[in-house]
Amino acid sequence: MTRPADSAFFTPLTLGSLTLRNRAVRAGCFEGMSPGGMVTPKLIEHHRRVAEGGVSMTTLSYCSVSYDGRAFGHELWMRPEILPGLRSLTDAVHREGAAAAIQLGHCGFFASPRVIGRRPLGASRKLCLFRLSVCSQMTEADIAEKTGDFVRAALLAREAGFDAVEIHAGHGYLLSQFLSPWTNRRHDRYGGSLENRCRFPVEVVAGVRRALGPDFPVLVKMNLLDGMSGGLVVEESVQVARAFEAAGATALVPSCGFTAATPLFMLRGGRPVVEMARAQKSFFYKIGLACFGWVMVQRYTFEPLFLLESARRVRDAVDIPVAYIGGSFSMTHLDSLVDEGFAFVQMGRSLIRDPDFVKRLNAAEIEESDCDHCNRCIAAMSVDGVACVCDG
């Protein structure tokens, strides 16, 4: 038995030059499968398997635009040497009838000094408690260099066969650090007013758009709110969304949370501090998480569709497609989201739990995911790659 033909979720969608077979997109969830910053057979198989399971597009995450934008040694960073591996991944996804996107970003002030061999860069000088390091405030020359890195990375991504790029301007990554007043204390043309805080992220999106041409899909992941006092709020994010639209974004993916301050705000549910501490290879980080993780990693109660009201405000503020992400795990959720105007839905944990989730929904074998939102998959990504470890 197949899903009734009037299910809006299983209708095609056009984003620029790309047509997707349905509205299911695998979100950019860090895989932890790239030792040495290289593409591995396990990473390729992970995305091939999700594509086989029915999504219309899978998002490779996280790929830094430069060497100094990484938090872990097993994160990808874009360079010509990894193009053959990336091409193998996109070819594998395409053989399953799906499209492939790549999430491009930079960690900014929470990049690991141990990994990058230097002091991290940030919007303003700031202490990162997760690293116990203080970043350097970026100069205008640094900003120009990183803008160029985003453009170069996007061009290499297209060369590798990706059908879309997703610029990461949320979750407290570098572009998000410029948008947020919590991390941006600058007094030049890149700080202060919201217009100034938008300047660098908007320059990146506009530069990528010019380089890739008018029709190549450029998605932007952005924050609705950071989740802490002094951070970005929804009233500002509506204006940020309009700025990204004007800069040439094809579609927006409004999310939330700040990796270095409110790390589970974007997920909600379980707080696997013990498992995360055990997974750390560094004794220093293992002890730090075990002792202070309960304070640094806050608990947020999971609720279905927990970002819906805020996401609606961005959806209604722009004329380009807007995705929904955040607590959607049933067929009822997915159909209702598309029916009310969200162009597509990004999913993470449901697909980590069951790569065939979308296919099984379409066949009416199931009506919802049995993921219990324990978040232990986060700890698994630091051991042998992201995977569901729930026995239920």
What are the residues whose beta carbons fall under 8 Å from the beta carbon of 137, sequence distance 6 or more? 122, 123, 124, 125, 186
> Is the pLDDT score of 380 beyond 80?
no
* Position 237 in a domain: yes
Residues 37-73: tens digit of each pLDDT: 999 999 999 999 999 999 999 999 999 999 999 999 9
Give the number of other CB atoms < 10 A from CB of residue 313: 15
Q: How confident is the model at residue 280 (pLDDT cuts 50, 70, 90)?
A: low
Q: Are 65 and 77 within 8 A, CB to CB? A: yes
pLDDT at 65: 98
pLDDT at 378: 78
Long-range contacts of 138-147 (CB under 8 A, 24+ apart): 140/188, 140/190, 143/190, 143/200, 143/203, 146/65, 146/66, 146/106, 146/121, 146/174, 146/200, 146/204, 147/200, 147/203, 147/204, 147/207
Lowest mean pLDDT among 72-76, 127-131, 144-148, 237-241: 127-131
> Is the pLDDT score of 106 beyond 70?
yes
Rounded CA-CA distance 229/392 in Å is 37
Burial (CB count <10 Å: 0-12, 13-18, 19+), residue 283: exposed
Give the active site residue among 62, 173, 285, 324.
Answer: 173
* Position 289 in a domain: no
> Is the pLDDT score of 287 beyond 90?
no
* Position 124 in a domain: yes
> Is the pLDDT score of 294 beyond 80?
no
Q: How confident is the model at residue 276 (pLDDT cuts 50, 70, 90)?
A: low
> Is the pLDDT score of 5 beyond 80?
no
pTM for this structure?
A: 0.94
pLDDT at 388: 86
* Position 375 in a domain: no
What percentage of the chain reaches a pLDDT higher than 90?
Answer: 81
pLDDT at 375: 81
Q: Tell me the pLDDT of the chain averaged across its residues.
A: 92
pLDDT at 220: 98
Q: How confident is the model at residue 9 (pLDDT cuts 50, 70, 90)?
A: very high
Averaged pLDDT, 178-200: 98
Domain total of the chain:
1
Q: Which domain holds residue 143?
A: 8-270+295-368
Give the number of other CB atoms < 10 A from CB of residue 19: 12
* Position 212 in a domain: yes
- Mode of pairing for the β-strands spanning 24-26 and 251-256: unpaired
* Position 32 in a domain: yes
Long-range contacts of 338-343 (CB under 8 A, 24+ apart): 338/8, 338/9, 338/11, 338/23, 339/8, 340/312, 341/315, 342/311, 342/315, 343/13, 343/15, 343/23, 343/251
Question: Which CATH number belongs to the domain containing residue 89 in this structure?
Answer: 3.20.20.70
Q: How confident is the model at residue 1 (pLDDT cuts 50, 70, 90)?
A: very low
Place of tokens 């985003």: 150
Number of separate helices (H) and strands (E) present in the chain: 14, 14
> Is the pLDDT score of 278 beyond 70?
no
Q: How confident is the model at residue 273 (pLDDT cuts 50, 70, 90)?
A: low
Q: How confident is the model at residue 353 (pLDDT cuts 50, 70, 90)?
A: very high
> What does the block give as tokens for 344?
């597509």
* Position 121 in a domain: yes
* Position 278 in a domain: no
Whether 324 is catalytic is no
